[in-house]
């Protein structure tokens, strides 16, 4: 029973909720998705198939789901947090056991009409369970060791399962996203200092153990890190992705080569141009102006979410909104860092722009939660 339920008199009911939605966020999400359609159209060589059409259908489905989720009061979702979390863990176990093998990693379950990536789902169910946990937890106990270990376990269990797949990108997002919620909830700075210190130790260990029986990462993951540190070491092998994507970005210049004129993507020099590396096509064809515009759209989404969260007096709603915004931020920040050669290639898609059903649906549903929190905020 929280503070929220005593102040419901002013919360809108019925269809009038639609007027109280966070419309700027909805418009921004639509704008970003449209940029995605445009780029998928371009990389397909000016064709709606094979990518734009399914992506549009998923966007439509995602929007419907977002509205449905937004209509349901936020406290229902808070009560469902545990179920959602356990459900996504179960799905992760399912891919571990039965998942199809795609691109050398077990990542998705075939639902017939689409392929579901439980790891995508987990990013947001983790945010939910952590927000619910800190909503339930007495604020004074937040920094006590025992109450710190519980959320850490909540983070590490799905992280372990994701790493088993193996999917380093998602694992990093899970840890970072979970960590951010703990930080927002008010866990003492000392813990974070400790984590940074041990993180440095862990990275050292990861590299020290390389080549031994206990090596922590897969060989290809090590190679990606090597390549990141020195892309020119293997320009036609593992460094190919980074080198080619930098060439594409750089050749865009101020205003780009024009829509559908990017030679890098047009001529297939770019790897995975419709998924993880789609930003390079945008940057090549629309240049610095196009790249900064997309970055601005993303930033505005975060901005409106943060504003909504800070004005929301409900602890769960506030943490959930900030957590989802942070995860969304991590998505595009890691993806852009990767294609600009600031981070290793870890396989994180550009949210709402990259081709991919699970990510699109899951992100829109997550923003449904943000909307629900916004609509049902105490007034």
Partner 1 sequence: MKRTAKDSEFSSRKISRRGLIMGGAQLAFVGALGLRMRYLQVDQADQFRMLAEENRINVRLLPPARGLMFDRNGALLAANEQNYKIVLVREDAGDVEEVLARLAQLVPLTAEDLERATREIYRRSPFVPVTVADRLRWEDISAVAVNAPALPGVTPEVGLSRGYPRGQDFAHVVGYVGPVSDYDLERLNDPDPLLQIPKFQIGKSGVEAKLEHELRGKAGHRRIEVNATGRVMRELDRIDGEPGANIQLSVDADLQNFIQARLAGESAAASVIDTETGDLLAIASSPSFDPNKFVRGISVADYSELTENKYRPLAGKAVQGTYPPGSTFKMVTALAALHDGVVSPEDTVYCPGYTYLGGRRFHCWKRGGHGNVNLHDSLMRSCDVYYYELAQRVGIEKISAMARLLGLGERHDLPMSAVAQGLAPTKDWKRERHGEGWQVGDTLNAAIGQGFVLASPLQLSIMAARLATGRTVTPRLVKSINGVEQPSHAGTPLGLNENLLRQVRRAMFDVSNSRRGTAFRSRIVEDAFRMAGKTGTSQVRSAVVRNQDVPWEQRDHALFVCFAPFDAPKIAVSVVVEHGGGGSKAAAPVARDIVLQALYGGLPPLAAYPAADHERIREMQRELPLRNPSSAEDGKDQA
Contact residues toward partner 1 (CB under 8 A) are: 1-3, 136, 138-139, 180, 183-186, 244, 246-254, 263-264, 266-269, 283, 287-288, 291-292, 295, 298-299, 302-303, 306, 309-310, 313, 315, 318-319, 322, 326, 329, 333, 336-337, 340-342
Compute the CA torsion angle 83, 58, 28, 324 (nearest 10 deg): 20
Q: Which is nearer to partner 1, 136 or 160 (CB)?
A: 136
Minimum distance, C-beta of residue 99 to partner 1, in the bound complex (Å) = 30
Across the strands, what pairs with 116?
109
Q: Which is nearer to partner 1, 89 or 336 (CB)?
A: 336
Give me the sign of the Cα torsion angle 143, 147, 151, 152.
positive
Give me the sign of the Cα torsion angle 287, 292, 293, 298.
positive
Segments in the chain forming alpha helices (H) = 23-43, 52-71, 74-98, 118-136, 145-164, 168-185, 189-208, 219-229, 240-252, 263-266, 278-311, 315-339, 357-375
Q: Which is nearer to partner 1, 105 or 278 (CB)?
A: 278
Minimum distance, C-beta of residue 113 to partner 1, in the bound complex (Å) = 33
Q: How far apart are CA 269 and CA 146, in angstroms?
A: 52
Minimum distance, C-beta of residue 340 to partner 1, in the bound complex (Å) = 5
Burial pattern 149-161, b for ≥16 Cβ within 10 A else e, equals eebbebbebbbeb
Q: Which is nearer to partner 1, 216 or 269 (CB)?
A: 269
Q: Which is nearer to partner 1, 131 or 361 (CB)?
A: 131
Minimum distance, C-beta of residue 28 to partner 1, in the bound complex (Å) = 14
Minimum distance, C-beta of residue 133 to partner 1, in the bound complex (Å) = 13
Q: How far apart are CA 358 and CA 365, in angstroms?
A: 10
Q: Which is nearer to partner 1, 73 or 177 (CB)?
A: 177
**Which three-class secondary structure state does DSSP give residue 116?**
strand
Minimum distance, C-beta of residue 112 to partner 1, in the bound complex (Å) = 34
């Amino acid at each position: 029973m929280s503070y929220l339920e005593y102040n419901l008199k002013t919360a809108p009911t019925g269809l009038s909720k639609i007027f109280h939605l966070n419309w700027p966020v909805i418009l921004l999400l639509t704008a970003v998705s449209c940029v995605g359609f445009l780029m998928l159209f371009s990389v397909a060589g000016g064709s709606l198939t094979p990518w734009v059409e399914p992506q549009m259908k998923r966007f439509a489905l995602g929007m419907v789901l977002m509205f449905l989720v937004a209509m349901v009061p936020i406290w229902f979702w808070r009560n469902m947090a545990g179920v959602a979390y356990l459900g996504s863990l179960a799905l992760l176990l399912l891919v571990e056991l039965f998942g199809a093998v795609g691109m050398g990693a077990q990542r998705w379950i075939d639902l017939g009409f689409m392929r579901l990536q439980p790891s995508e789902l987990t990013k947001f169910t983790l945010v939910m369970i952590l927000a619910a946990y800190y909503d339930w937890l007495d604020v004074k106990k937040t920094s006590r060791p025992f109450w710190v270990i519980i959320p850490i376990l909540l983070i590490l269990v799905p992280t372990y399962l994701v790493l088993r797949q193996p999917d380093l990108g998602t694992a990093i997002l899970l840890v970072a996203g979970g960590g951010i919620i703990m930080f927002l909830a008010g866990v003492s700075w000392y813990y974070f200092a400790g984590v940074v210190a041990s993180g440095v130790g862990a990275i050292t260990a990861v590299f020290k153990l390389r080549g031994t029986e206990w090596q922590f990462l897969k060989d290809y993951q090590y190679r990606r890190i090597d390549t990141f540190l020195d892309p020119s070491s293997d320009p036609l092998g593992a460094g190919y992705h980074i080198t080619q994507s930098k060439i594409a970005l750089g050749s865009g210049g101020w205003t780009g080569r024009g829509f559908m004129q990017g030679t890098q993507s047009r001529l297939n020099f770019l790897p995975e141009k419709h998924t993880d590396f789609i930003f390079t096509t945008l940057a090549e064809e629309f240049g610095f102006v196009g790249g900064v515009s997309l970055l601005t759209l993303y930033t505005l989404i975060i901005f409106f979410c943060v504003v909504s969260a800070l004005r929301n007096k409900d602890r769960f709603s506030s943490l959930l909104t900030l957590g989802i915004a942070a995860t969304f931020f991590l998505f595009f920040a890691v993806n852009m860092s990767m294609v600009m050669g600031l981070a290793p290639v870890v396989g994180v898609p550009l949210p709402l722009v990259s081709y991919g059903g699970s990510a699109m649906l899951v992100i829109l549903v997550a923003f449904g939660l943000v909307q629900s929190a916004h609509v049902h905020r105490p007034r």
